[in-house]
Structure 1
Amino acid sequence: MIFETERLVIRKLLMKDLESFFELESNPKVLQYATGDVKTLSECENELQKLINKYDKSINDFWIYAIVIKENSRFIGTVALVKDEEGNDEIGYRFIERYWGNGYATEACGGLINYCQEIGIKKLIGNVVKENKASEKILLKYGFQKIKEFVSHDIGLPETKYVLNL
C-alpha cells in the first residue's frame, strides 16, 4: 500500500488489474482529456507490464498507482505522480466511468497531496484541459493556483496549469 483514505487504498498496479485497467483505458470518455487514444486489451497488457516494471527501477519519475475501494478491493482507477518536462511533480488521476460522481477523485487527490507532503515534495503541478470542469474544481478545492494557459502539444487541447506549494 502506498497510502489510504477513508474509502480508498492506493497501491501498486498488479497484472490481476488487467481487466479493470482495460475498462479504464479503452473508454473514449475517460481518455477524452488525456491522450484520447483508446487501447486494445493487448496494448493494455503491455502498458500495465511496463508500469509495473517501473516500480523496481532505481531512477523512476513516472509513478502510476491503482486506486481500489477499501471495502471490496475493487479497482476503480489510477493516480499518477510524474515529473513534467520542467522537472516538477505533476499529479493526475483517471477513473472507470461507472465510478464517476462518487467523490472518489476528490478523495484520491486529497490523499495524494497528503502523501506528497509526507515524502517531502514541496510543489505539485496539475494540468487540466479547460473543458474538464470537474478536475479543475478539485484542484481549486485543494488550493491550487492557476499559473498558465496553453495548448498541449500531445493532445492539442487548451489546458490550464495549476500549482500548489506544500
Structure 2
Amino acid sequence: MIFETKRLLVRKLKITDLEGFYELESNPKVLQYATGEVKTFLECEEELENLIEKYDEFENTFWIYAVERKSDKEFIGTVALVKTNEEDEIGYRFIEKYWYNGYAKEVCGGLITYCKLVNLTKIIGYVVDENKASAKVLEYYNFKQVKKFISDDIGLPETKYELYL
C-alpha cells in the first residue's frame, strides 16, 4: 500500500488490474482531457506491464498507482506522481462509472498528504480548462493558477496549478 483514505486504497498496479485498466484507458470520455487517444486491449496490457516494471527501476520518476475501493477491492482508477521538468506533477483518472462519487477529491487529499510525507515541497497539476471538475478539486486544496497555455498534445486551453506543501 502506498497510502489510503477513508474509502480508497492506493497501491502498486498488478497485472490482475488489466481488465479495469483497459476499461479506463479505452474510454474516450476518460481520456478527452488527457491524451485523447484510446488504447486497444493489447496496448493496455503492454503499458500496464511497463508501468509495473518501472517500480523496480533505479531512480524511477514516473509512478502510476492503482486506486481501489476498500469496500470491495474494486479497481476504479489510477493516480500519478511524475517528475516533469524537475517538478513533481500529480494526476488521477477514474473509470467513468465511478465519476461523481467524490473519489477525485478524496484521492487528491490523500496524495497531498503522501507528498508531504515523502518530503516534496511543491506539487503541480495540469488541467484542461474545459475540465471544470478537476479544476474544482485542485482549487479546493488551494492550488494556485500559475500559467495558461494551449496544450501541445491535445491542442486545448490548459492551466498549470501549483501547491507549496
Q: TM-score, normalised by structure 1?
A: 0.99
Secondary structure of the residue aligned to 1:111 is: helix
Show CA shifts across 1:51-74 (max 9, x none): 000000011110000000011110
Which residue identity does 2:5 align to in structure 1? T
Q: What is the aligned partner in structure 2 of residue 29 from structure 1?
A: 29
Partner of 2:83 in structure 1? 83
Could you tell me how far 1:160 is from its partner in structure 2?
0.2
Match of 1:11 in 2: 11
Counterparts in 2 of 1:43-82, with a 5 A limit?
43-82=43-82
Residue segments in structure 2 that go unaligned for 5+ positions in a row: none
User: What RMSD over aligned residues (CA atoms) do the two structures have, in Å?
Assistant: 0.5
Whole-angstrom CA distance in 1 between matches of 2:105 and 2:53: 28
In structure 1, distance between residues paired with 2:152 and 2:57: 28
Aligned to 1:160: 159
C-alpha displacement of 1:153: 1.0
- Per the TM alignment, residue 106 of structure 1 is displaced from its structure 2 partner at its CA by 0.3
How big is the shift at 1:156?
A: 1.3
Structure 2 counterpart of 1:106, one-letter code? K
TM-score by length of 2: 0.99
Pair 1:92-2:91 in alignment: yes
Q: Deviations over 1:114-156 (max 9, x none)?
A: 0000010000001000000000000000010000001111121
Number of residue-to-residue matches in the alignment: 165
Runs of 4+ displaced beyond 3 Å: none
Q: Which runs of 5+ in 1 are unaligned?
A: none
Is residue 147 of structure 2 the alignment partner of residue 126 of structure 1? no
Alignment identity in percent?
65
Report SS of the residue matched to 1:48: helix
